[in-house]
Structure 1
Amino acid sequence: MERAVRVVLADDEPLLRHGLGVLLQASGRIQVVAEAVDGAGAVDAVRRHRPEVLLLDVQMPGMDGLAALRVLSTMPDAPVTAVLTTFDLDDYIAQALELGAQGFLLKDAEPEMLVRAVLDLAAGGAVLDPRITARLLPRLRGAGVALHRAQAIASLSGRERQVLGLLADGRPNANIAQALGITEATVKSYVSTLLTKLGVHNRVQAALLLHGVDTAAGGRP
């Protein structure tokens, strides 16, 4: 039997936190090992329980989510982190990306999407709710998604562009490898090269970059 994905939930709203916990555990594939009401509690829970995935609210009292991400970014065995948010996006989104967040999920997402997001994150994928993407792209373009990055995408090889396209759909390495008929180790090599060529830090930034370029061009080529 496949081992359940271990998750820590951090949100200061008790009803939301409880609801998410019940929803995730009902899938039978996810185990919520701890809950936290602020960033300090989230960091402590991660250290104590070693989860694969952390679902983290940003706007919490005391130590907020960004401060928690800063601490977690110094930990070599930190979990994959997805930020829980609402449509009230703020400047923290860019900061969370820089600090290594691998996903952004709306708190009112459909249950099936939340479960799938956690499983994909645990498998190495990046998760971005499409509604968040639509809000983020104009903001990031306004903040200066540089022309040289668009040119970098245009200069990618055909195979690199295939990997980037699948990565931008949130697929983990094993899924990309299966889709392209290559090994997972080869996919990891491609992803590392792509992040370097595009000048980004993680998969979510690469996905946003591709979405932004394709949107400006009127769609994917």
Structure 2
Amino acid sequence: MRLPGVVPVRLVLADDEALLRRGLKVLLEADGRVEVVAEAADGAGLLEVVRRFRPDVALVDVQMPGMDGLSALRAVLAWPDPPALAVLTTFDLDDYVATALELGAQGFLLKDAEPDALVRAVLDLAAGGAVLDPRITARLLPKMRAARLRRSPQLDGLSARERQVLELLAGGRPNSAIAASLGLSEATVKSYVSTVLTKLGVENRVQAALVAHQVGTW
């Protein structure tokens, strides 16, 4: 279904299970805000369809034959202007998720997530947000502590405004939504986000969100 006046988010699905891809396609396209423009059964296929279709978002399984999802993520993230990339995983793949985080994936979703949650996640990713399924967050935090994503003097050095930005960022809000919430311009928010990442010593929004979830309220 295509909604009048709505430009759907262009999505690529990469998973070696054809039945899962078909089911996700039906669920994600149901209300017209997301369009699955291509599918891939392995990492090599993902590279091909991303080059061809230039999607806004790609949902990628990590375990696929041939070139796996992590290798494909590494390759796509090295390209100029890559799509927003999110890992689509299951509970027993924590190590893969942690590696994808280090590579720079912008979202972590579980295959059994509710349809509405998946649609919201795709829309947020397209808008520049970071998406973390709460169940994945709970399992990742101990691993992130081991990887030194912990409370530090840098966190204490955040200003009040930077803490507000971090809190909203941790909720998956894109820069436009953070700007609207705080009454700032998007350019100013972008500058704040860059400063927050530098002060926390992390490389991307998802890592910053994990720090915020680990620390909780300050």
Q: Which interval holds the TM-score relative to the shorter structure? A: over 0.9
Q: How does 1:63-212 map to 2 (within 5 A)?
A: 63-146=67-150, 150-212=152-214
Which sections of structure 2, spanning at least 5 residues, go unmatched? Answer: none
Does the alignment pair 1:28 with 2:41? no
The alignment partner of 2:88 has SS state of strand
- What amino acid does structure 1 have at the position aligned with 2:37? V
**Which amino acid in the other structure matches residue 210 of structure 1?**
A
Q: Which residue of 2 aligns with 1:14?
A: 18
Percent of aligned pairs with the same amino acid: 71
How far apart are the structure 1 equivalents of 2:102 and 2:143? 15
Give the number of aligned pairs. 214
- For residues 134 and 153 of structure 2, the distance between their equivalents in structure 1, rounded to whole angstroms, comes to 24
| 1:94 Cα deviation from its structure 2 partner | 2.2
Rounded Cα–Cα distance in structure 2 between residues aligned with 1:201 and 1:213: 18
Amino acid at match of 2:47: V
Give deviations 1:52-99, integer Å, cap 9, x for gaps. Answer: 000000011100001001111210121000000011133222221121
TM-score, scaled to structure 1: 0.94
- Is the Cα–Cα contact under 8 Å of residues 153 and 210 in structure 1 kept in the other structure? no
**Alignment partner for residue 54 of structure 1, among 55, 58, 68?**
58
Q: TM-score, normalised by structure 2?
A: 0.95
**C-alpha contact 2:154 2:199 (8 A) present in aligned 1:** yes
How far apart, in 2, do the equivalents of 1:86 and 1:160 lie? Answer: 33
Runs of 4+ more than 4 Å apart: none
Q: CA RMSD in A?
A: 1.1
Q: Secondary structure at the match of 2:29?
A: helix
Residue matched to 1:217: none
